[in-house]
Amino acid sequence: MIVTVTPNPSVDRALDLECLAVGEVNRAHATHVHAGGKGINVSRALVAHGRPTRAVLPAGGPDGELLVRLLDDHGVPARAVPVAGETRSNITLVESTGVTTKVNAPGPALGPDDVAALLDAVAAELVGGARLVVGAGSLPAGTGADFFVRLAELAGRHGVPCALDTSGEPLARAVAAGGLDLVKPNDEELGALVGCDLVVVGDVVDAARRVVARGTRRVLVSLGVHGALLVDATSTWWAGGPPLVPASTVGAGDATLAGFLAAEGEEPARQLATAVAWGRAAVLLPGTAVPAPADIRTDDVRVAADPDPDLALKEL
């Protein structure tokens, strides 16, 4: 069972429109409402593939109630920790070209008791025999930038590996503390972490190896339209496929991570190919919809071991 932890979940509201005119009244032709937040999306994608998972999250206010209802509709087993603040809504505007504009709300501040209750809820799930904990997304005010360090330590005390998909200071703190099984930044987030522009494959590999050197076993770097790289202490793999015109890119990285975790145990090239196939399937779905088995195509995913370090990412 995979336990996901989403400290700042959201109700994701996506509006599809022809072409966004900034500063004008725009009319959407479709709306989509999904339970959102990165860990929740990982759990939703796993559930869609019949994989055991539980989502741990704080929830408060009317959107918190809606979020819990949506998770129930999606069939996602969840442990929602009641908090006083109001769960946020995040807004996505998708143009017919696939260009996506996203506005994420800050989310409710959590008090020290909320944070303690959230970690207690995770601990209760770990006792039940989890095989992995995934901490994902941004941290709301009040959690402290070391929240994911505490999560990884908690997982470690229970002998459970920990994977992270976060960015900025929370990612930097967790990587510095080490002891992680996996991190899944995109190339921009990895570049910000190491303070370098990542232009060629070798830049990504060097940056990922700096993360590995601090005590993380594997780095899965998503590259948007250019696929993904998997880097461990000794080897590198790339997987990708032809560019797609997205229905919505929101949650594609989460589907990628979910696919990677679902394929755990397979050899790394196949595991990466599965991850990329799930991510590609997600971009063809509206809003924050997650792919089901019928959406996944592996025939157009190519995999390469030890890709040329001098190759520009934009040429992958």
Ligand X SMILES: O=P(O)(O)OC[C@@]1(O)O[C@H](CO)[C@@H](O)[C@@H]1O
Show which residues are catalytic: 254
Structure tokens at 251: 């949650």
**211 touches, from ligand ATP, ligand X, none (C-beta below 5 to 8 Å by class):** none
The option from ligand ATP, ligand X, none interacting with 117 (CB < 5 to 8 A, set by class) reads none
- Per CB under 6 A, contacts with ligand X among 9-68 are 10, 12, 36-38, 41
90 binding ligand X? (CB under 6 A): yes
Q: Which of 58, 64, 227, 259 binds ligand ATP (CB under 6 A)?
A: 227
CB of 271 to ligand ATP, least distance (A): 14
One residue of 231, 252, 290, 303 binding ligand ATP per CB under 6 A: 252
Name the residue whose CB lies closest to ligand X: 36
| Nearest in space to 231 (alpha carbons), one of 254, 259, 252, 206 | 206
Q: Looking only at residues 230 through 249 of this chain, which bind ligand ATP when binding is defined by CB under 6 A?
A: 243-244, 246, 249
Q: Which does 271 bind (CB under 5 to 8 A by kind): ligand ATP, ligand X, none?
A: none
Span interacting with ligand ATP, options 61-69, 108-116, 155-163, 277-285, rule CB under 6 A: 277-285
Q: Which is nearer to ligand ATP, 4 or 114 (CB)?
A: 4
Q: Which is nearer to ligand ATP, 147 or 260 (CB)?
A: 260
Among 222, 236, 271, 274, binds ligand ATP (CB under 6 A): 222
Residue 186 interacts with ligand ATP (CB under 6 A): yes or no: yes
What phi, psi does 252 have (nearest 5°)?
-65, -40
Which lies closer to ligand X via its Cβ, residue 35 or residue 122? Answer: 35
Burial of 2 (0-12, 13-18, 19+ CB in 10 A): buried
Residues 118-137 that bind ligand ATP (CB under 6 A): none
- Tokens in use for 86? 């109001």
Q: Closer to ligand X at the Cβ: 43 or 216?
A: 43
288 binds, among ligand ATP, ligand X, none (CB under 5 to 8 A by kind): ligand X
Backbone angles phi, psi at 60, to 5 degrees: -155, 155
**What residues line the site for ligand ATP (CB under 6 A)?**
186, 222-225, 227-228, 243-244, 246, 249-254, 256, 276, 279-280, 283
Binding site for ligand X (CB under 6 A): 8, 10, 12, 36-38, 41, 90, 104, 137-138, 250-251, 253-254, 288
